[in-house]
Amino acid sequence: MKSRPHALRDIATRQFDVCVIGAGASGAGCALDAQCRGFQTALVDAGDFASATSSASTKLAHGGVRYLQQAVAEFDFGQLKVVREALRERILMLENAPHLVHSLDFVVPCFSSFDLLYFGTGMKIYDWLAGNASLGGSRILSKQEALHLVPTLRTDRLAGGVSYRDGQFDDARLAVTLVKTFADSAGEVVNYLRVVDLEKDSTGKLVATIAEDVFSEQKITIRARAFVNAAGPFSDEVRLMAAPALPRRLVRSKGAHILLPLEEGVNDALLIPKTEDGRVIFAIPWQGRLLVGTTDQEVPTAEEPMVTQEDAAYLLRHLNRYTARHYAHDEIVSAFAGVRPLVQPDHSRQTKKLVREHEVEIDEHSGLVSILGGKWTTYRVMAEHTIDAVAKTLGRANTRTNSQHLPLAGATGYTAEYWRTLVREYDVTEATGRHLAEKFGMESAHVLELTKENTVLKSPIVAGSPSICAEIIYCARHEMAVTIEDVLARRIGLQYFDWRLAMQAASVVASHLARELGWSDQQRNEAIHDYVGRIERWLAAIGLQTG
């Protein structure tokens, strides 16, 4: 990927076929699809790549057991179609990014024979819907088997469980990797470039976006023949920029997650099948933590949501009903929340009932193509449908996507044992080898090559984390990381692992970024101050102490 100043200059001077607004799962997927079909494509985001919903998901590459439940209970074949499509996409995600997506076993605890039969049958339908895209069949577990798989489960009244297999992935890294794959295919991309206006010709057709550099406040014009609105929960704002009379289409729903210490021996995820508000919650081993989520609450705006004390209490209350071990509020190590962009159907405003199906909307007058709704798991097929629509508007309807079988950056040649090569060839610890392989795949070697020039870069960013300083340099040079949070959250994940550890790491990250990006001492100090201040606000919102 080019440096940001270089990319900023180039994006303002070229004429593109397609300009994609928003670099979350939907936008990054659309940009890659368009570029790979031969369209000269530009991709911009108002923040960092995946800094909105796409780094705040439950990280499941799944058909959605919850949607299956709804489909069966309400004879809703639309939902069944969504589940089936996602199950097909799940396996493509696994094949195209094996370093970032893997299968994971889940256990549904059951407290009666009826539950065993109900969930056992439900999971058989899930298996059947997956067909030959199945990751492994479900089965009914005895009480002992359920406890063996999830040793923290409470034992009283437990009748057994149902196990099934689904997909888990690193959402932020997958989005960054999609963007990187796009840039490697000669796509032009810039982060922190907010579209503030759209320019039209005399017939009302869009011809350019006016975008503002968030750091310098300088405005640039990006010229293209087609425009894709992939602004996720902000899509209505972009639609209204193109055509102010359009009705709003999105309902926005906040979903919160908390992260807790992961107990020894817990390898399987727990599906909590029933909440007070008739939903399901997951407690999932994820990168050394127990990830618990999510809530579902309609919100008026898509602006950065915070996890509150009430959100955390709701999640802990439900988790503790199912576990023998009591999880306390002050054990929370980090948290995050995202806003679901749900397409509003006419009949319901209950957010937990809205389908996660996507819709491609074409505004005939301005030509804006909006991709609305959807799920992370279906990002590829959403992109395919969107770029099919774009291709039609560009008079190139005969183009076909190759994204079903397109290995993403770092995927080619990757195996689950690749970390051993890193340990052997670069003399790093097992924890660092595994961490690098799981974040960067085959590109880890490029990260570690930096340590040959400067062995200091092999040192940990902060004690207690497997991340090393070379990652900061690599992310600044090759992944357009330009803030402390870009590095610690979306590139290497330390912020999700532990907020307080991330605060400690901030000054080291800032020092390396300062050298790479030419910051003054004042800019470096301000960056640390801003970052630490953000985490302090999140800690306060959830009711935790800083120290």
For ligand FAD, the binding residues (CB under 6 A) are 21-27, 44-47, 50-54, 56-60, 62, 194-195, 230-234, 238, 255, 294, 338-341, 374-377
DSSP 111-163: SSHHHHHHHHHHHHHHHHHHGGG-SS--EEE-HHHHHHHSTTB--TT--EEEE
Distances (CA, A) of 378 to 61, 85, 133: 9, 7, 14
Least distance (Å) from ligand FAD to the CB of residue 376?
A: 3
Least distance (Å) from ligand FAD to the CB of residue 342?
A: 9
Look at the block and give the residue holding tokens 């690193």. 170
Judged by CB, which is closer to ligand FAD: 45, or 170? 45
Query: Is the backbone peptide bond immediately before 294 cis, with ω within 30 degrees of 0?
Result: yes
Cβ-based neighbour number of residue 352 at 10 Å: 18
Judged by CB, which is closer to ligand FAD: 234, or 440? 234
Tokens at residue 447, please? 């990260």
Q: Do the strands 269-272 and 101-110 form a parallel or antiparallel pair, or are they unpaired?
A: parallel
Judged by CB, which is closer to ligand FAD: 338, or 433? 338
Least distance (Å) from ligand FAD to the CB of residue 246?
A: 16
What count of Cα atoms within 13 Å lies in the side-chain half-sphere of residue 333? Answer: 17
Which amino acid is present at 539? L
Judged by CB, which is closer to ligand FAD: 24, or 187? 24
Strand partners, 163: 107, 139
The residue count for the chain? 547
- Which helix (H) or strand (E) segment holds residue 469: the answer is helix 469-478
Least distance (Å) from ligand FAD to the CB of residue 423?
A: 31
- Cβ(363)–Cβ(242) under 8 Å? yes
Least distance (Å) from ligand FAD to the CB of residue 55?
A: 7
Least distance (Å) from ligand FAD to the CB of residue 51?
A: 5
Q: Closest Cα partner for 382 from 106, 82, 114, 120?
A: 82
Judged by CB, which is closer to ligand FAD: 52, or 510? 52
First and final C-alpha spacing in the chain? 38
Judged by CB, which is closer to ligand FAD: 357, or 443? 357
Query: In degrees, to the nearest 5, what angle opens at C-alpha 379 toward C-alphas 19 and 56?
Result: 100
Alpha-carbon span 33 to 17, nearest angstrom: 13
Least distance (Å) from ligand FAD to the CB of residue 401?
A: 18
Judged by CB, which is closer to ligand FAD: 45, or 85? 45
Least distance (Å) from ligand FAD to the CB of residue 31?
A: 11
Cβ-based neighbour number of residue 139 at 10 Å: 14
Least distance (Å) from ligand FAD to the CB of residue 14?
A: 18
Judged by CB, which is closer to ligand FAD: 269, or 528? 269
Alpha-carbon span 96 to 409, nearest angstrom: 9
Least distance (Å) from ligand FAD to the CB of residue 68?
A: 14
Name 518's Cβ contacts closer than 8 Å, sequence gap at least 6. none
Judged by CB, which is closer to ligand FAD: 172, or 508? 172
Helices (H), 295-348: 309-322
DSSP helix/strand/coil, 410: coil
Judged by CB, which is closer to ligand FAD: 104, or 146? 104
Least distance (Å) from ligand FAD to the CB of residue 456?
A: 34
Judged by CB, which is closer to ligand FAD: 290, or 469? 290
What count of Cα atoms within 13 Å lies in the side-chain half-sphere of residue 328? Answer: 3
